[in-house]
């Protein structure tokens, strides 16, 4: 029956790791995948996460199903991290929310909710699929997620390769030119893949443009903490929109800031105008989740709950989160410094100007191939460097290789 199924393409990002693993060069460097590494290049488990794990094992919990919407305790803690302790909507039960299969699952749930329920601007039924606008470029999976959710996918201008910075005028004008009432996906901080975030003033303007156009903001917050090292500072874009009266949809991931990648810990929330509306959306989120996966995994949320229920563990977590962000920032400074010392004629200011886990290096597709074939340095074709894979041991080798291929 399935004999006619064509072989599909490999995932571009995951393919980089496959090629890396097959390379025997002892100096090889994997700068493909967006997962934090410590300064000797190893996966990093935060010490409060280890301690929480220890306590959880000791407590000998049952392993029964969670409810369809997941752990209430976890979800409450997640939305407080995003919206802030004192948010009025959170305090008064006007936020619909569900535990999700990490950030990917949160985006997917958002896509289905939007596809099923986003009304036309006059409040009536829609005759077309809702349009979700993604920044150009965006995380490669976004387009597939929203397309598979039944939404139409478009783009708005975001990155300017000439300045290696935000094309803010282009961004605003493409959002102004889009059909009124479109859904606009915004990376809350540490934009993937470009590392380029709007300034506070630019966020304020974007908020005004979205209001004017009655666009629906959909925030993807996969890297809270990774821009500034501070969870509160990195939530500023989300909180600004909320303060401006937007009824946002928010996808949160705990993969990066808790280092819980494989545990699949995330949350989707929708800010509403009343408890009644929040309860109605809650009910629909459960109806969407139930036939897909019945209920979410329990192990990862127990860890987050344990850490966030103990002020000392929470303090350690915030400190180690900051440590991860700071290590990445120091690698940016070192990489740029080495390139300058080597006499590179290029301008590398963007390495330190960009934020979060990634540097959108401007290295061409051909140069990426040379880095791989001649130096065993692996990055995605678009020139994105995962700064988390750079260490004080390999940064010199990396700078040398980058200099050689960009001369």
Q: From the CB of 167, what's the least distance to ligand PMP, in Å?
A: 19
Among 40, 38, 58, 62, smallest CA distance to 50 is for: 58
Catalytic residue, candidates 77, 256, 282, 348: 256
The nearer residue to ligand PMP, 44 or 338, going by C-beta atoms, is 44
CA–CA separation, 23 vs 407, rounded Å? 25
Catalytic residue, candidates 28, 164, 213, 220: 220
211 tagged catalytic: no
Q: From the CB of 341, what's the least distance to ligand PMP, in Å?
A: 32
CA angle 223, 68, 100 (to 5 degrees): 10
Q: From the CB of 80, what's the least distance to ligand PMP, in Å?
A: 19
Farthest-apart Cα atoms in the chain, separation: 63
| Rg over CA atoms, the chain | 21
373 tagged catalytic: no
The nearer residue to ligand PMP, 103 or 225, going by C-beta atoms, is 103
CA–CA separation, 149 vs 193, rounded Å? 22
The nearer residue to ligand PMP, 275 or 295, going by C-beta atoms, is 295
CA angle 402, 405, 407 (to 5 degrees): 100
Q: From the CB of 47, what's the least distance to ligand PMP, in Å?
A: 21
256 tagged catalytic: yes
The nearer residue to ligand PMP, 193 or 229, going by C-beta atoms, is 193
Contact yes or no for 55/306 (Cβ under 8 A): yes
CA–CA separation, 190 vs 219, rounded Å? 12
Catalytic residue, candidates 77, 139, 164, 348: 139
Q: Which two tokens stand for residue 254?
A: 């705990």
- Residues making contact with ligand PMP (CB under 6 A): 34, 102-104, 139, 187, 192, 220, 222, 253, 255, 261, 266
Q: From the CB of 94, what's the least distance to ligand PMP, in Å?
A: 25
The nearer residue to ligand PMP, 253 or 361, going by C-beta atoms, is 253
Q: How many Cβ atoms sit within 10 Å of the Cβ of residue 279?
A: 14
> Catalytic residue numbers?
139, 220, 256
């Amino acid at each position: 029956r399935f004999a006619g199924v064509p072989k599909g393409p490999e995932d571009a990002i995951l393919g980089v790791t496959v090629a890396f693993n097959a390379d025997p060069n002892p100096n090889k460097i994997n700068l493909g995948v967006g997962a934090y590494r410590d300064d000797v290049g190893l996966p990093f488990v935060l010490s409060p996460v280890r301690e929480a794990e220890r306590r959880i094992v000791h407590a000998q919990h049952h392993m029964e199903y969670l409810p369809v919407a997941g752990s209430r305790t976890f979800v409450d803690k997640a939305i407080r991290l995003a919206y802030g302790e004192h948010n009025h909507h959170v305090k008064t039960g006007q936020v619909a929310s569900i535990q999700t299969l990490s950030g990917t699952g949160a985006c997917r749930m958002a896509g289905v909710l939007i596809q099923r329920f986003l009304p036309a601007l006059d409040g009536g039924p829609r005759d077309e699929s809702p349009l979700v606008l993604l920044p150009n470029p965006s995380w490669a999976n976004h387009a597939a997620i929203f397309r598979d959710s039944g939404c139409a996918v478009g783009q708005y201008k975001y990155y300017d390769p000439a300045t290696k910075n935000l094309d803010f005028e282009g961004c605003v004008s493409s959002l102004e030119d889009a059909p009124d009432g479109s859904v606009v996906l915004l990376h809350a901080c540490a934009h993937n893949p470009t590392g380029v975030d709007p300034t506070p003033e630019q966020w304020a303007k974007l908020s005004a443009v979205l209001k004017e156009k009655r666009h629906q903001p959909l925030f993807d917050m996969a890297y809270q903490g990774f821009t500034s090292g501070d969870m509160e500072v990195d939530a500023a874009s989300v909180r600004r929109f909320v303060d401006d009266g937007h009824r946002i949809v928010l996808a949160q991931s705990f993969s990066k800031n808790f280092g819980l990648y494989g545990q699949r810990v995330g949350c989707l929330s929708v800010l509403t105008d009343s408890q009644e509306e929040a309860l109605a959306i809650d009910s629909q989120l459960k109806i969407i989740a139930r036939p897909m996966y019945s209920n979410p995994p329990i192990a990862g949320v127990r860890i987050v709950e344990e850490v966030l229920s103990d002020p000392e563990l929470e303090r350690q977590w915030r400190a180690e989160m900051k440590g991860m962000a700071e290590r990445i920032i120091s690698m940016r400074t070192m990489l740029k410094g080495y390139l300058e010392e080597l006499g590179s004629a290029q301008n590398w200011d963007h390495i330190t100007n960009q934020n979060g886990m990634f540097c959108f290096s401007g290295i061409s597709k051909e140069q990426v191939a040379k880095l791989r074939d001649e130096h065993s340095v692996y990055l995605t074709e678009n020139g994105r460097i995962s700064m988390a894979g750079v260490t004080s041991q390999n940064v010199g080798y990396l700078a040398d290789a980058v200099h050689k291929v960009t001369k």
